[in-house]
Structure 1
Amino acid sequence: MKVYEALAEAFVREGTTDVFGMMGDANMHWMAALADRGVRLYEVRHEGSGLGMADGWARGSGQPGVVTTTSGPGVSQLATSMLCASRARTPLVAFCGETPLGDEGATQYLDQRRFAAAIECEFLQVTRPENANETVRQAFYLARTTSRPVMISAPFDVQVAELDDDEEEYVPSTALIRTQRLLPDPAAVQDAAALVADAKRVVVIAGRGARRAGAGEEILALQQQTGALLATTLQAKNWLCDRTDFHVGLSGLFGDKASMELLQEADCVIAVGASLNHYTIESGYLYPEAKYIQIDTAPHLVMGNGRIADCYLQADAVTGLGELTRTLADRSVRLEGYHTDTVRRHLTARLAEPEEYVNEPGRLDPREAIRILDDELPGEMGLVLGSGHQTDFGTMLFQRSRDVLSNYGMFGAIGQAPLIALGQLIAHGSKPGFVVEGDASFLMHLPEFETAVRYQVPLLVVVMNDQGLGAEYHKARAKGLDPELATIPTPELGTVAQALGGAGATVRTPQQLRDALAEYVHTPRPTVIDVRITREVLSTPYRRIQYGEDV
């Protein structure tokens, strides 16, 4: 058996079913061996795009994603997407071919170890045939247990060497991982219960960790017992919003004014699987009088105001919430808190549409476009939100309960969301889903729409097109610079999508948008809807940051 065959077999034993990347001299034998073993290979148009798709696949499946590149330039193309995956704490394994061991004069030579360190991923090298299996096992073990990307660098001469067929049967990393629920310290639970008992207005903030743990029922039980408002972080947007009348949406920068007015009255905040970064708590200004209780699996966390929680429970979400709720019941603690008709009416009013939308011929108000999207696209369709100014509208205004993944803040890189969405859809069995992205972001990786067409992945790309770099346009205006320097004309992207083999439309009126969405819902296939939006509407977060205004 060749080493590359053993490496391929090890990946299969680790559960690899889908691999994204580009073939080159230094990874082609390994890819062929994977294909022989039934692994689906997705050939992309750029290595970094392949990593973005593997990132989305991992987020969608809950298992490590896999990307592959050839040596040297294939590896260096991974930089931005790898940093985004690292900041998102995505478990991922990159199989990277390498020039022959020690041949620093090779055309494609790159010190891949130093490069991996710079792009924030672990590095492992297959230095001899005998350590091939152990390298794969260690890579998947690290990806799974530390939730981060790992690079396997495989020199080509080692890959094509012979491996003794008497090697022991491969033991996958999953056999080495024993997971168990993390139980909270009973004394800390008592301290947390005492803080809640002394409170009058409790807010529960649910984060990505709580959602991944499936702690929805426990959160709702605690909310009911404490009369709490339920808010979420950006990574858990809209979670449980259809299960309670007292859901305020997002906590922090992307929250609406009506919700913030209520949240500022809180005297106790219970965070579950949420790091409470400075966005979520507005660096402490959002909850000025509150005591903090934090439930998380991490040993400890420092919040976005530079403080630690008043009571910290290191526990998994389900167990920690269950113990806190039980202890409150033992103490006969039950609060009315925010659960009043007055608060219910206040929360209903926050969802009202503006009295009027901006009427600019040939361009939609982005707020109206988002509301149409939310109304017309079924709730079972997952959503990925991109980056930039246009994303603020969707982040704030999408209200329907659906699976939402936000790439906001993950290294601040534009262009990643369509890649992540494509990988996520593949992980979900190519069920219909959509991504909302800006024009500059979408055009950055335009060739990958052809990848969606080639593999018939029914991704709907909604391009909020202001024909420019929206964030820079509005920042330049706020700073007294010439905003026109940030404008970039774009072609009819609906027509471009059709030329690449998919469906597409460019829309300039609300009815045209509804018609285009209806066509996609009726016949889901790779589609781009180019929504021409006005630049005259500034998002609420930008009003707050750039002008100190709130609406």
Structure 2
Amino acid sequence: MSDRKTFDVLAEAFWQEDVATCFALLGDANMNWATRLSQMGCRMIYVRHEHCAVSAAMSYARATRDVGVATVTCGPGLTQILTALPAAVRAGIPLVIFAGEAPLKAAWYNQEIDQGPLVTATGAAYHPMHQPARMPTQVRDAFLQARTERRPVVLGVPFDLQDRSWTGDTALPEPSKAIMPRLAPMMPHPDEVKRAAEAIEAAERVVVVGGRGAFLAGAAPDCRTLAGRIGGLLATTLPARGLFHDDPFSLGIMGGFSTHVAREFLAEADLIVAIGARLASHATDAGKLFPKARVLHVDERPLAVSQGRRAADLHLRSDAKLGVAALAERVSERSGWRSPDLARRIAESPADPEEFQREQGLHDPRDVVSALDAALPGDWEMVNSSGHCSYFFAQMPRRPVERFHTIREFGAIGNGISYAIGVAAARAGNRVVLFDGDGSLMMHVQELETIRRHGLSVAICVMNDGAYGSEIHKLRAEGLPDDGAIFGRPDFAGIARGFGLDGTRVEDLSALPDLVAEFGRTGGAAVWDFHVSDRVASPVVRRSHPPHHTREPQRT
């Protein structure tokens, strides 16, 4: 180019970082840069809301195990992403976000705001880029920081500087991958292995729990070996849901989403061996899930305290795979508490045996999930959103961890459709199924148009109870009016058709196999609307808000 601009060089710096996909909403302060990046060959997913750009980049990063990239403009473009950033921080997801800044030369600009403090308050990093000569290095360093610290890095670039002619070096710095430290897995110390093995030998009822760290380290086979040698049971944290999906002695999820049987056996455990897990409060019911058990934490950064409570009693500092393999070699074989009857109970017991009165014309959400689990192919990508419905959708025991995506560390609803977009971009060519609630989907229903426009193959299963599910059950448990959480049941099938997608209200669950088969043949996008009873409360809500009153909910 005869007049090479700074935004050209910035686009080249991102392209050099192997950025294959960028999620974007354009404005004055990022559109030139984004256009250049697109012209270089980067796939741009243009969403309808800035929050959705960052949320989609989150699930893309999680699915690809690489840095996710998004871009927003300055001012209101930046403030719109302040819910997505803490979610990424708490989930440990590396992102680099190209954000515009107001022009430095302007005496007054209506979208100007001090962006740095807003971003850093979320736990993300913010780097103002005000020296053009340093900008390419700052881009490289942002990718380094995102990768090493596992959190979002936001680059603020004034758009008047972007439009300047480039006068700096013609050569770019080495990309981040070229200078990243190449670290070998951490070996466990023999003395620590000995102490940990002695604790396992002394225990009678052991549960081996795999976290996402165990999944990433490829430690699942070693966890199975360890549990098998000592007659222990298996479980996972929610982010690693499905790690042992085909093992007859897997209890499934440990934590708030545990099944009835899992909670029974966890309550009797005398040792929890947690592999590559954060031991978060929700994963342990704040320590109440296994009151008789000591906890052995195997991790490169073992924890004494997590989220305000003592997390572990014993520690083995090691790579997850190497640590578990070392323990399996040191312990003696025994039958433990495994038996054919126990395996049968695990396989045949319902996740939640609570009885609820049937309502005419409405599904029990547990029946919906059972029908979906039976009908959906095992190699499709499943995305579970947040909210009351997410407990039910997590109860799909046949789904492997590689195909089940969930990000819940911040507890925000409204992210499901963005996460589905990110997974669809990461796993191009495969079918994606999103499980969401009506309240969550309504928050960003405009992204149905994004799915159609970009030709993504996404089927959305919406659990439609006409309300914010968690809130109505909590209000009713308190004996308070629930009107403020009830909104009526949107016609999602009609909304989908209005956006040019297929839409079906599923009144008969026996029709699901045909819907699934059609989606498998044609791809495209669809919304399947399940009207469910708002009287079926999840065990999570029932435990946290046991009913104080027996009367019907009040109406104002």
The TM-score, its normalising length taken from structure 1, stands at: 0.94
Distance in 1 (CA, whole Å) between partners of 2:316 and 2:96 is 32
- Which residues in structure 2 correspond to 1:167-178 (within 5 Å)? 167-178=170-181
Which of 197, 200, 203 is the aligned partner of 2:201? Answer: 197
Distance in 2 (CA, whole Å) between partners of 1:85 and 1:307 is 24
Does residue 296 (structure 1) correspond to residue 295 (structure 2)? The answer is no
Q: What is the one-letter code of the residue matched to 1:184?
A: P
Partner of 1:484: 483
Does residue 62 (structure 1) correspond to residue 65 (structure 2)? The answer is yes
Partner of 2:318: 315
Conserved in 2, the CA contact under 8 Å of 1:513 and 1:531? Answer: no
Distance in 2 (CA, whole Å) between partners of 1:129 and 1:532 is 55
1:136 positional shift: 0.3
Distance in 2 (CA, whole Å) between partners of 1:482 and 1:308 is 38
Q: Could you tell which deviates more after superposition, 142-151 or 165-174?
A: 165-174
Distance in 2 (CA, whole Å) between partners of 1:355 and 1:4 is 59
Distance in 2 (CA, whole Å) between partners of 1:219 and 1:337 is 15
Conserved in 2, the CA contact under 8 Å of 1:200 and 1:335? Answer: no
1:308 positional shift: 4.6
Partner of 2:76: 73
Distance in 2 (CA, whole Å) between partners of 1:199 and 1:355 is 33
Q: What is the one-letter code of the residue matched to 1:294?
A: H
Q: CA offsets, 1:192-217, max 9 Å, x none?
A: 01101111111101111111222111
Conserved in 1, the CA contact under 8 Å of 2:71 and 2:98? Answer: yes
Distance in 2 (CA, whole Å) between partners of 1:130 and 1:169 is 11
- Which residues in structure 2 correspond to 1:531-550 (within 5 Å)? 531-547=530-546
Which of 205, 225, 232 is the aligned partner of 1:228? Answer: 232
Distance in 2 (CA, whole Å) between partners of 1:254 and 1:83 is 23
Distance in 2 (CA, whole Å) between partners of 1:204 and 1:213 is 16
1:473 positional shift: 0.8
- Which residues in structure 2 correspond to 1:11-90 (within 5 Å)? 11-90=14-93
Distance in 1 (CA, whole Å) between partners of 2:329 and 2:338 is 20
Distance in 2 (CA, whole Å) between partners of 1:280 and 1:413 is 17
Q: 1:280 to 1:163 in 2, by over 3 A?
A: same
Distance in 2 (CA, whole Å) between partners of 1:400 and 1:24 is 40
SS at match of 1:79: coil
Q: What is the one-letter code of the residue matched to 2:473?
A: H
Q: Could you tell which deviates more after superposition, 179-188 or 437-446?
A: 179-188
Partner of 1:336: 335
Conserved in 2, the CA contact under 8 Å of 1:362 and 1:509? Answer: no
Partner of 2:405: 405
1:2 positional shift: 2.0
SS at match of 2:392: helix
- Which residues in structure 2 correspond to 1:146-185 (within 5 Å)? 146-164=149-167, 166-178=169-181, 179-185=183-189
Partner of 1:208: 212
Partner of 2:504: 505
Conserved in 1, the CA contact under 8 Å of 2:27 and 2:73? Answer: yes
Q: 1:279 to 1:355 in 2, by over 3 A?
A: closer
Q: What is the one-letter code of the residue matched to 1:322?
A: A
Q: Could you tell which deviates more after superposition, 142-151 or 163-172?
A: 163-172
1:352 positional shift: 7.8
Partner of 2:446: 447
Does residue 257 (structure 1) correspond to residue 260 (structure 2)? The answer is yes
Partner of 1:219: 223
Conserved in 2, the CA contact under 8 Å of 1:3 and 1:163? Answer: yes
Distance in 1 (CA, whole Å) between partners of 2:170 and 2:521 is 53
Partner of 2:553: none
Conserved in 1, the CA contact under 8 Å of 2:259 and 2:351? Answer: no
Q: CA offsets, 1:428-454, max 9 Å, x none?
A: 114111111110110110110110000
Conserved in 1, the CA contact under 8 Å of 2:392 and 2:538? Answer: yes
Conserved in 2, the CA contact under 8 Å of 1:210 and 1:274? Answer: yes
Distance in 1 (CA, whole Å) between partners of 2:254 and 2:514 is 34
Q: CA offsets, 1:371-398, max 9 Å, x none?
A: 0010000011121111221222122355
Conserved in 2, the CA contact under 8 Å of 1:281 and 1:304? Answer: no
Distance in 1 (CA, whole Å) between partners of 2:521 and 2:269 is 46
SS at match of 1:434: strand
Q: CA offsets, 1:124-172, max 9 Å, x none?
A: 1221111011110111011100110000011112212233464444301
1:304 positional shift: 6.0
Q: 1:262 to 1:385 in 2, by over 3 A?
A: same
The TM-score, its normalising length taken from structure 2, stands at: 0.93
1:520 positional shift: 2.0
1:285 positional shift: 2.2
Does residue 138 (structure 1) correspond to residue 137 (structure 2)? The answer is no
SS at match of 1:488: coil
Q: CA offsets, 1:396-432, max 9 Å, x none?
A: 3554435222233x32211102101211111111411
Distance in 1 (CA, whole Å) between partners of 2:512 and 2:70 is 36
Conserved in 1, the CA contact under 8 Å of 2:144 and 2:176? Answer: yes
Q: CA offsets, 1:66-88, max 9 Å, x none?
A: 11111211111111112222221
Distance in 2 (CA, whole Å) between partners of 1:352 and 1:389 is 15
SS at match of 1:547: coil
Partner of 1:519: 518
Distance in 1 (CA, whole Å) between partners of 2:386 and 2:172 is 46
Unpaired runs of 5+ in structure 1?
Answer: none
Q: CA offsets, 1:237-259, max 9 Å, x none?
A: 122221x2111111122212222
Conserved in 2, the CA contact under 8 Å of 1:272 and 1:296? Answer: yes
1:535 positional shift: 1.2
Q: What is the one-letter code of the residue matched to 1:38?
A: G
Conserved in 2, the CA contact under 8 Å of 1:389 and 1:471? Answer: yes
Which of 247, 251, 256 is the aligned partner of 1:248? Answer: 251
Unpaired runs of 5+ in structure 2?
Answer: 549-556
1:338 positional shift: 2.0
Q: CA offsets, 1:85-107, max 9 Å, x none?
A: 22211100110111222646112
Distance in 2 (CA, whole Å) between partners of 1:430 and 1:68 is 25
Distance in 1 (CA, whole Å) between partners of 2:143 and 2:319 is 23
Q: 1:24 to 1:355 in 2, by over 3 A?
A: closer
Distance in 2 (CA, whole Å) between partners of 1:77 and 1:150 is 16
Distance in 1 (CA, whole Å) between partners of 2:352 and 2:317 is 41
Conserved in 1, the CA contact under 8 Å of 2:381 and 2:430? Answer: no
SS at match of 2:545: helix
- What is the identity percentage for the equivalent residue pairs of Structure 1 and Structure 2? 35
Q: Could you tell which deviates more after superposition, 367-376 or 157-166?
A: 157-166
Q: 1:356 to 1:119 in 2, by over 3 A?
A: closer
Conserved in 2, the CA contact under 8 Å of 1:129 and 1:162? Answer: no
RMSD after superposition: 2.0
Q: CA offsets, 1:311-357, max 9 Å, x none?
A: 212221111112222233xxxx1121122223223223324896987
SS at match of 2:273: strand
Q: CA offsets, 1:441-498, max 9 Å, x none?
A: 1011011011000011011111100011111111111011112332112331112111
Q: What is the one-letter code of the residue matched to 2:449?
A: E
Distance in 2 (CA, whole Å) between partners of 1:166 and 1:436 is 49
1:541 positional shift: 1.6
- The number of equivalent residue pairs is 543
Partner of 2:274: 271
Conserved in 1, the CA contact under 8 Å of 2:383 and 2:416? Answer: yes
Q: 1:134 to 1:497 in 2, by over 3 A?
A: same
